[in-house]
């Protein structure tokens, strides 16, 4: 079983790789994080299949979200989500006050502009995990002050 630090380093190298790629493709200053998100999606989709194999069936959408906030999050991010809010119409807000990938940054505003790079993978991970449980969603993240992070999940119903 691999050590955590290997995953941490791989995560930052994936971001590095995506930045390199988007630099090659266009000269614009904007960085393209869709690759990072997609890698998260692919990994999330597959890991969910393995995690829930021997799990009792989820009662409803909220039950699924609770699973993400507690068991899933504890495994990967070493802690539970601090706050889960929902409007009961398909919008969920997951708040993590000490997000693993932002924990090593300064608490000030200095690196706030780089925060999106470090949450893109996790957005994909959540989206992928939910997709495998037949919940199509759009996941975005919001970082107002390090190292706390809010993930917004909008469930798509059609």
Partner 1 sequence: MSRQTSRLDAKKVNSELLTLTYGALVSQMLKEIENTDDVNKQLERIGYNMGVRLIEDFLARTSSSRCLEMRETADKIQHAFRLYLNMQPTVTSWSSSGDEFSLVWDQCPLSEWVEMPSNGLKYCALIPGAIRGALQMVQLDVQCWFVQDQLKGDAITELRVKYIKRLEDAVPAGED
Give residues in contact with partner 1 (CB under 8 A): 1-7, 9-11, 13-14, 16-17, 21, 35, 38-40, 42-43, 46-47, 50-51, 54-56, 71-72, 74-76, 78
Burial 81-112 (b: 16+ CB within 10 A, else e): beebeeeeeeebebbbeebbbbeebeeeeeee
Q: Identify which of residues 72 and 151 has a Cβ nearer to partner 1 in the complex.
A: 72
Cis peptide before 147 (omega within 30 of 0): yes
> Least distance from C-beta 43 to partner 1, angstroms?
4
> Least distance from C-beta 20 to partner 1, angstroms?
9
Q: Identify which of residues 40 and 147 has a Cβ nearer to partner 1 in the complex.
A: 40
Q: Identify which of residues 71 and 82 has a Cβ nearer to partner 1 in the complex.
A: 71
What is the rounded (10 degree) CA torsion for 115, 120, 122, 127? 150
Q: Identify which of residues 112 and 133 has a Cβ nearer to partner 1 in the complex.
A: 133
> Least distance from C-beta 51 to partner 1, angstroms?
6
CA atoms of 64 and 3, how far apart (whole Å): 28
User: Per the structure block, which two tokens stand in for 49?
Assistant: 């299949």
- First-residue to last-residue Cα distance in the chain: 41
Q: Identify which of residues 56 and 108 has a Cβ nearer to partner 1 in the complex.
A: 56
Reduce the DSSP state of residue 76 to 3 states and report it: helix
> Least distance from C-beta 5 to partner 1, angstroms?
6
């Amino acid at each position: 079983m691999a050590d955590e630090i290997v995953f941490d380093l791989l995560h930052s190298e994936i971001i590095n790789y995506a930045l390199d790629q988007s630099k090659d493709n266009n000269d614009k200053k904007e960085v393209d994080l869709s690759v990072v998100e997609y890698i998260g999606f692919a990994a999330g989709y597959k890991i969910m299949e393995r995690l829930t194999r021997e799990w009792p069936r989820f009662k409803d959408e909220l039950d699924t979200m609770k699973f993400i906030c507690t068991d899933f999050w504890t495994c990967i991010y070493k802690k539970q989500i601090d706050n889960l809010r929902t409007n009961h119409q398909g919008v969920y807000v997951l708040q993590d006050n000490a997000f693993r990938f932002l924990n090593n940054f300064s608490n000030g505003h200095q690196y706030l502009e780089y925060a999106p790079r470090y949450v893109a993978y996790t957005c994909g991970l959540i989206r992928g995990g939910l997709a495998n449980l037949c919940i199509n969603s759009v996941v975005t993240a919001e970082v107002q002050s390090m190292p706390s992070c809010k993930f917004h999940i909008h469930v798509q119903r059609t």
